[in-house]
Amino acid sequence: MRTVFLFLLSFGLVWTSTAQPGPDRLRADAPNSVLIQNATVHTVTNGTLDTADVLVQDGVIASVGTDLSAPSGVDTYDATGMHLMPGIIDAHSHIAISDVNEATRPVTAQVGVGDVLDPYDVRIYRALAGGVTTSHVMHGSANVIGGRNETIKHRYGMTHPNALRMEDAPRTIKFALGENPTRVHGESSDVVPRTRMGVESVIREALTEAQRYQALQDAYDAGDRSAPPPHSERLEMLADILSGDLIVHAHSYRADEILMLMNVLGDFGVDEITFQHVNEGFKVAPELAEFGAGASIFSDWWAYKFEVYYSTAYNAAVLTRNGVNTSINSDSPDLNRHLYHQAAKAQRYGELSDEETLALITINAAEQLGIDDRVGSIEEGKDADLALFSDHPLSIYAVPQRTYVDGTVRFDRNDDPDDMRLQVDPESVVEETVVWHDTGTRHGACMQQTGMHLHANETGVRLHN
């Protein structure tokens, strides 16, 4: 057996799937009006309705009730026996981007992931297969103050990056505390921060510099033209944090650093923040509630590095019972398809109600992102972002059937091409195995790559599982 690099183009290979996407699922102009009938409707904010209908017109929820009639030209979908819930919102994701960290400096507020969105990322489609309709695409955690994030809708099939952006969603920026920035900068580059003390110092210095920059700008705008401040995109963004126009989302684990950042932001008059991960949030839940901070957590991930050794599966319940707006996120291109299972774990360990549990992946996340007037619940006037399940979404037996974004079907289990499930990386190393016939003749090569095989012989090349 030998290791080789597979370059399909060198074979002159053109591979065209015979399983073409359905006409109404990936088209930019796909229908966005429908009457969903006879479902169990989990509105999240207004209880659960049995055998109810939801009328969607022009991408918006027009009516919720029983015995609704479809207007002329609007198709109906019989959801008898199924469960309909708001589209799931992933409050912490790195989907649709390839470069996560601008790790060259401790503070890089001038960059933004929204400028490098990839609408062709198949992970968007796979997230839809788990009922996820909205993602908060975040900069990584290498920087104390990283780049700006982007809230996107999973409009898979739209080919322009701007089509993913959620229109008028509030802007957010990534902070990071603890081991990640201290390792990347202090340990690797010998620059501040090397410690948690250094992390606090970097934040205070950056926000103080932004205060001075904004003061010069204000003076200039008021008529003092003697010393116009030189433009700095980095300082513009930091100043927007101080004014409340840029919402902080902070990577965090330990209770001490969570308290530290609330103290620092309080000193600068910043009162809106959502802490990400927050594994020790249960230790400081009353303090988080008093500050008005949100918490976007894992259900049961911990102990994967030293600062995450101390956590509990009761974290979501403790935070919720203390009045903290809490969501459960994936931070993963795979677990995003299972966020309804992740939420169910919080119910298992914390005895939250169905509504409280579903809120962890819908309306609570929407509130943290400032988009709760548009998504997160099934209400008239909101965007028709909906997920249809075979069973109760918190049941282990639940299987997503259809996912709507703005009323358009972007995933349909009955119209799911096989090639959407392939994992192909043309730059990865593959292993070549010679395949022999019983007659002793060499038939071709089987190159194994991430669970797939590629067969090459005199008749051509084909892929198989």
Query: Per-residue pLDDT tens for 380-431?
Result: 999 999 999 999 999 999 999 999 999 999 999 999 887 787 777 777 776 6
Task: Output the pLDDT for position 422.
Answer: 79
Q: Which residues make beta-bridge pairs with 93?
A: 137
- Residues 310, 458: one domain? no
| Across 21-30, 258-267, 292-301, 308-317, least confident range | 21-30
- Residues 59, 123: one domain? no
Choice between 22 and 153, residue whose per-residue pLDDT is larger: 153
- pLDDT (average), residues 6-21: 32
In a domain, 421, yes or no: no
For the cut 70, the answer to whether the pLDDT of residue 456 exceeds it is no
* Domain region containing 293: 88-371
| Across 214-228, 237-251, 296-310, least confident range | 214-228
- Residues 44, 15: one domain? no
- pLDDT (average), residues 247-259: 98
Q: How confident is the model at residue 27 (pLDDT cuts 50, 70, 90)?
A: low
For the cut 70, the answer to whether the pLDDT of residue 462 exceeds it is no
Percent of the chain's residues with pLDDT above 70:
86
Long-range contacts of 2-9 (CB under 8 A, 24+ apart): 2/431, 2/432, 3/429, 3/430, 3/431, 3/432, 4/429, 4/430, 4/431, 4/432, 4/447, 5/427, 5/429, 5/430, 6/426, 6/430, 6/447, 6/449, 6/454, 7/426, 8/426, 8/461
- Residues 115, 178: one domain? yes
Q: What angle do CA 221, 223, 227 make, to 5 degrees?
A: 80
Q: Are 225 and 216 in contact (CB under 8 A)?
A: no
- How many structural domains is the chain composed of? 3
**Dihedral sign for Cα atoms in the order 385, 335, 255, 314:** positive
| Across 19-23, 367-371, 382-386, least confident range | 19-23
For the cut 70, the answer to whether the pLDDT of residue 343 exceeds it is yes
For the cut 80, the answer to whether the pLDDT of residue 458 exceeds it is no
Task: Output the pLDDT for position 418.
Answer: 79
Task: Output the pLDDT for position 26.
Answer: 58
- Residues 302, 335: one domain? yes
Task: Output the pLDDT for position 448.
Answer: 41
Considering the chain, what is the average pLDDT of its residues? Answer: 88
- Residues 151, 95: one domain? yes
Q: How confident is the model at residue 290 (pLDDT cuts 50, 70, 90)?
A: very high
- pLDDT (average), residues 131-143: 98
- Residues 197, 247: one domain? yes
pLDDT tens digits for range 59-99: 999 999 999 999 999 999 999 999 999 999 999 999 999 98
- Residues 169, 268: one domain? yes
CA distance 132 to 155: 11
pLDDT tens digits for range 36-50: 999 999 999 999 999
- Residues 284, 135: one domain? yes
In a domain, 35, yes or no: yes
For the cut 70, the answer to whether the pLDDT of residue 105 exceeds it is yes
Q: How confident is the model at residue 319 (pLDDT cuts 50, 70, 90)?
A: very high
In a domain, 151, yes or no: yes
CATH code where residue 409 lies: 2.30.40.10
Task: Output the pLDDT for position 421.
Answer: 79
CA-closest candidate to residue 281, choices 264, 270, 293: 293
- Residues 93, 140: one domain? yes
CA-closest candidate to residue 6, choices 364, 431, 350: 431
pLDDT tens digits for range 256-270: 999 999 999 999 999
CATH code where residue 265 lies: 3.20.20.140
Task: Output the pLDDT for position 420.
Answer: 84
pLDDT tens digits for range 152-189: 999 999 999 999 999 999 999 999 999 999 999 999 99
- Residues 221, 205: one domain? yes
In a domain, 423, yes or no: no
Q: 352, 371, 390: which is the final residue of a domain? A: 371
For the cut 50, the answer to whether the pLDDT of residue 13 exceeds it is no
- Residues 58, 105: one domain? no
In a domain, 424, yes or no: no
In a domain, 38, yes or no: yes
In a domain, 422, yes or no: no
**CB neighbours (10 Å) of residue 338?**
16
Task: Output the pLDDT for position 444.
Answer: 42
- Using DSSP bridges, classify how beta strands 150-153 and 145-148 pair: parallel, antiparallel or unpaired: unpaired
In a domain, 364, yes or no: yes
